Amino acid sequence: MKYGLMALVVIFSPVCLSKSWHPKDSVSAAREQVSHLAYSLNYDHDHKNARWVAYELTPDQLVNCAQRDSHRFVVDLKLREPSADPDDYRQTGYDRGHLVPAGDMKWSEEVMRQSFFTSNITPQTSSMNRGRWSMLETLIRAWALESEQTLIITGPVLSDELDKLPSTAVSIPDYHYKVLLSRKKNLWRAIGFLMDQAPQGHKLEAFVFPVREIEKITGINFFPHLSASESRQLEENVEMTLWDFKAKFQYRPCPQSQVQSSMMN
């Protein structure tokens, strides 16, 4: 399936967050929801992919305390059935693409380690994973750094027609999405992205979609805590002028207390 691009416009609205803001999925069979220290996910055992991962990113978490080099992909033992085996991806031509980026988890060695659970990875082409998708992850960090609160939900678009990695149950998505709900100066804004596996040559603005459109494609209600009026204002359109696509990002130094804690562990 192919999706066209749309012209987009959004309205700011103050939102009262409830304690439980996680998505609601229209389909529950073969799905399992679990929570780790920094993120939650809904895992589809039929596809060996998470339908969504959800987490909050705040400015004080964007510190350079943990490095990814010492971590390896491992099966998520919190699931009732095993997540994909790391070797399922070997010699397939696809990267083990993070859904919750390791780059968002540098504030703690433990949350960095948990970002390498295979429940948090999905098949992505290297041109996507190391190209426009990586650029999008960095841009979102820049936005989160200037916002009081950013809620992020990421996942593949799954369907029964998808191909599998050879000799595995791991589905190869044609598209991946990200949706954000962000509070800046006590006003809320929302934006969605839908990216295919070959996104070269396009600016990130080309992948912007209203959150509501991605909900229709995935069958997921991303922010069920919103009232009907808030949902209309925030999810049906996107005002591009509210998002700085030229924003630059740099990690803050790791606080000394976290450096000492890391050395003790």
* Domains in the chain: boundaries: 24-264
Q: What pLDDT score was predicted for residue 53? A: 97
pLDDT at 27: 67
Helix (H, G, I), strand (E, B) or coil at 52: strand
Amino acid of residue 258: Q
Per-residue model confidence (pLDDT) at position 172: 98
- What does R_g of the chain's alpha carbons equal in angstroms? 18
CB 179 within 8 A of CB 208: no
Cβ(194)–Cβ(172) below 8 Å:
no
CATH fold, domain 24-264, is Extracellular Endonuclease; Chain A (3.40.570)
Distance CA 169, CA 257 (A): 44
Determine the distance from the C-alpha atom of residue 2 to the mean position of all C-alpha atoms in its chain, rounded to a whole number.
Answer: 21
pLDDT at 90: 96
Q: Give the C-alpha distances (Å, rounded to integers) separating 135 from 48, 68, 226, 234, 245.
A: 26, 18, 29, 24, 11
Those residues whose C-beta lies under 8 Å from the C-beta of residue 116, and which sit 6 or more positions away, are: 68, 71, 72, 73, 74, 102
Q: What is the dihedral of CA 240, 246, 248, 249, to 10 degrees?
A: 40
DSSP string, 67-82: -STT---B--TTSSS-
Q: What is the pLDDT of residue 29?
A: 61
Q: Structure pTM?
A: 0.90
Contact 66, 105 (CB under 8 A): yes
Task: Name 208's bridge partners.
Answer: 193
pLDDT, averaged per 10 consecutive residues of the chain (265 residues), comes to 39 40 75 94 96 97 92 96 96 98 97 98 97 98 97 97 97 98 93 95 94 97 94 95 96 79 50
